[in-house]
Chains A and B, each alone.
Chain A
Amino acid sequence: MFSFALGGQITGSVLWICEGWRTEQISPTGFAPYLDPQNLLYAKAKGQPNVLAVAEEALRSGAISLVIMELSAPIGLTAGRRLQLAAEAGRSTGLCIISEGMGSNAAETRWRCAPIFDAKDSTLQRWELIKNKSGTLSEWDVKWDAETRRVIVVSEAAQRQGSARMPD
């Protein structure tokens, strides 16, 4: 949801790159509330080197504002640095979807996003900023507002589970 919410806020096209063997398929009927599927290009590459090459090409071109890649193995220092330089040259954003503990040093920020259960709200998520090169770390509980198509930060005091001040 983080990727789609980010893609929805950005003006311009989004490129989603994944490896061909993956059986999980993003579904446009599902993400349409977040991001208009017309703005999304979907590339299936063979193997991670191709994913990275396509991502670098797309980041550098400047025609794409957000490149989302699904990675299955950690990327090395060279690859990370190249992606970073390409993103700087094309003034675009790259987002890698990775497993826990696979992050690259080149990343500007790293987020851990997970849905959390809440008795009232079925869109509540916890977004933790676990790496930030130019700021402090933090975490937010957010929910999605379908009408305004915006992510809304839920105030901790009211929503934190087990909090003494939580209304009944």
Chain B
Amino acid sequence: MGLHPGMGFSDARAFCRDLQSRPADQKADQDFLNTLARWAKRYCPWVGLEGINGLALNIAGSAHLFGGEAAMMDDMRHGLTQAGITAHLGLADTRGAAWALAHYGEGIAPVGAAQAQIASLPVAALRLEEKTCIALQRLGVRDIAELSALPRATVTRRFGRDVLLRLDQALGAQAEEISPLPEAPHYGVRITLPDPIGLTADVMAGAERVLERLCSKLKSREMGACILQLTLRRVDRSNQQVELRLARPLRDVARILPLFQRGVDQVDAGFGIDQLRLVATQVEPLPATQISHTSTVQHKGLEDLITRIGTRIGLENVQRFLPADSHIPERSFIISPAAYSVPAGSWPTIRLRPLQLFAPEPIGGSDTRPPARFRWRRMSFATARTVGPERIAPEWWLSDENRCSGVRDYWKVETKQGRRLWLFYTPQNPGWFVQGEFA
């Protein structure tokens, strides 16, 4: 269509009227390329990244497994097309020649014929800088054949060593490596048993063995497991799963093992279990820390307790209070899951606040002073003493439908019946509400 990278958006719109634009997400692109590299390992073990949008595969010795180079390329192209990816493939003896073919020619260079195959390609196919390419074109050097015909000494003097290095790499005179991506560590271990087991104690002993191996693996990489999944395969080939979500990343066998007890108790062993597989599906870095005599030991028990409670009611339901910077009473604290937060903050008490807060409950009355008698929750109260008003204005920079009735005048009302309530009056929309209760 005439579009190319680096084009202005309005220029591109002139070619293609309904062009859509999205901000580039380089991280996602990189992740996708890594995923693609993992997929490409089906063709050969030696897969490296090529720039930001390419992969380099060293298929030496693995092409015959797919029935030859051409069949392998077809298979690759078929797989990529199925996934909706448009790819340019090039195959040659050297990495440079393959790059040139992939970008400018597409196709397979037969063994030993790379030079002939890429001779007619433009000099840009040699992975040269754009400036160098333009300079070469100005001199009338358009394709690779013309460049290789030039005397080497003059080329180096004019353009530096880079041009000849790239040419030699493409033609095979200079070696070039592909550095494969590191294998992502896999935190999973399994144990297969000669005879099926069924007793809880046996299963726990088996779990201890796999857990020991997993924990030593985690320890060697300074990681801690957050979510563990124990899969028990029964003799009849059905799987029983026990999932454990830990409040803190852990790699301590003695602490993790008791936490599995509850899950293992609920497993139906059927005719017996003959394989245990333990996978840490989510891991977090857990660097070794200095042990000191002043550190508190008590936290350990608490974290294990949070985990145990979390397996029953959900880890996000065990919460703690953290201070928040707001003068609105309901927003002056936040509740966050205890597993993912640390206790923090000071709680200054500037003004009296009720022990309990609830959603505002309307009561009768429209005077600006608290009503002398009122009914709340089917009980009648007589006001004995009032403290107030304390005017709290809404946070206008946030939209909150609870606060659309405007400013509130809060009163602490002590009733003759004993209860001490927190009432507020909304002057802009007259009405009285109860929102909290003091001790």
The residue from A23, A26, A45 contacting B355, defined by CB atoms under 8 A apart = A26
The residue from B356, B358, B417 contacting A30, defined by CB atoms under 8 A apart = B356
Tell whether B402 is near chain A: CB-to-CB under 8 Å.
no
Tell whether B353 is near chain A: CB-to-CB under 8 Å.
yes
Q: Please tell me if the beta carbons of A63 and B319 are within 8 angstroms of each other in the complex.
A: no
Q: Please tell me if the beta carbons of B306 and A41 are within 8 angstroms of each other in the complex.
A: yes
Q: Mark A8-44, 1 if CB is under 8 A from B, else 0.
A: 0000110000001001111111111110111111111
Q: Please tell me if the beta carbons of A43 and B318 are within 8 angstroms of each other in the complex.
A: yes
Q: Please tell me if the beta carbons of B302 and A63 are within 8 angstroms of each other in the complex.
A: yes
The residue from B319, B357, B384, B419 contacting A43, defined by CB atoms under 8 A apart = B319
Q: Please tell me if the beta carbons of A41 and B345 are within 8 angstroms of each other in the complex.
A: no
Q: Please tell me if the beta carbons of B305 and A61 are within 8 angstroms of each other in the complex.
A: yes
Tell whether A53 is near chain B: CB-to-CB under 8 Å.
yes
Within the complex, the shortest CB–CB distance from A144 to chain B, in Å, comes to 7
> Which of A71-79, A101-109, A111-119 binds B?
A111-119
Q: Please tell me if the beta carbons of A30 and B317 are within 8 angstroms of each other in the complex.
A: no
Given contacts A30-B438, A63-B301, A63-B304, is CB(A115)–CB(B319) below 8 Å? no
Q: Please tell me if the beta carbons of B321 and A37 are within 8 angstroms of each other in the complex.
A: yes
Q: Please tell me if the beta carbons of B418 and A25 are within 8 angstroms of each other in the complex.
A: no
Q: Mark B280-309, 1 if CB is under 8 A from A, else 0.
A: 000000000000000000100110111011
Given contacts A41-B306, A57-B309, A123-B439, is CB(A29)–CB(B317) below 8 Å? no
Tell whether A125 is near chain B: CB-to-CB under 8 Å.
yes
Q: Please tell me if the beta carbons of A43 and B309 are within 8 angstroms of each other in the complex.
A: yes
A46 contacts across to B, CB distance below 8 A? 313
Tell whether A50 is near chain B: CB-to-CB under 8 Å.
yes
Q: Please tell me if the beta carbons of B317 and A53 are within 8 angstroms of each other in the complex.
A: no
Within the complex, the shortest CB–CB distance from A126 to chain B, in Å, comes to 8
Q: Mark B375-393, 1 if CB is under 8 A from A, else 0.
A: 0000000001101000000
The residue from B318, B329, B349 contacting A32, defined by CB atoms under 8 A apart = B349
Q: Mark A56-68, 1 if CB is under 8 A from B, else 0.
A: 0110011110000
B153 contacts across to A, CB distance below 8 A? none
The residue on A at minimum CB distance from B387 is A122
Q: Please tell me if the beta carbons of B439 and A117 are within 8 angstroms of each other in the complex.
A: no
Q: Please tell me if the beta carbons of B357 and A24 are within 8 angstroms of each other in the complex.
A: yes
A41 contacts across to B, CB distance below 8 A? 302, 306, 318-320, 338
B332 contacts across to A, CB distance below 8 A? 29
Q: Please tell me if the beta carbons of B305 and A43 are within 8 angstroms of each other in the complex.
A: no
Q: Please tell me if the beta carbons of A54 and B313 are within 8 angstroms of each other in the complex.
A: yes
The residue on A at minimum CB distance from B318 is A43
Q: Mark B344-388, 1 if CB is under 8 A from A, else 0.
A: 110101000111111100000000000000000000000011010
Q: Please tell me if the beta carbons of A58 and B313 are within 8 angstroms of each other in the complex.
A: no
* B residues 94-135 in Cβ contact with A at 8 Å: none
Can you list 19 A-B contacts (CB < 8 A)? A12-B298, A13-B302, A26-B356, A27-B333, A27-B356, A28-B321, A28-B347, A30-B356, A37-B347, A39-B343, A40-B321, A41-B306, A43-B317, A43-B319, A44-B319, A114-B418, A116-B418, A117-B416, A144-B439
**4 A-B pairs with the lowest CB-CB distances in the bound complex, closest first:** A1-B439, A63-B301, A32-B347, A38-B343
Given contact pairs A45-B317, A115-B439, a sample of 18 additional A-B residue pairs in the complex whose CB atoms are under 8 Å apart? A1-B439, A23-B358, A24-B358, A27-B353, A29-B349, A32-B347, A34-B439, A38-B343, A41-B302, A41-B318, A42-B318, A43-B317, A64-B305, A114-B418, A117-B414, A119-B385, A122-B385, A123-B439
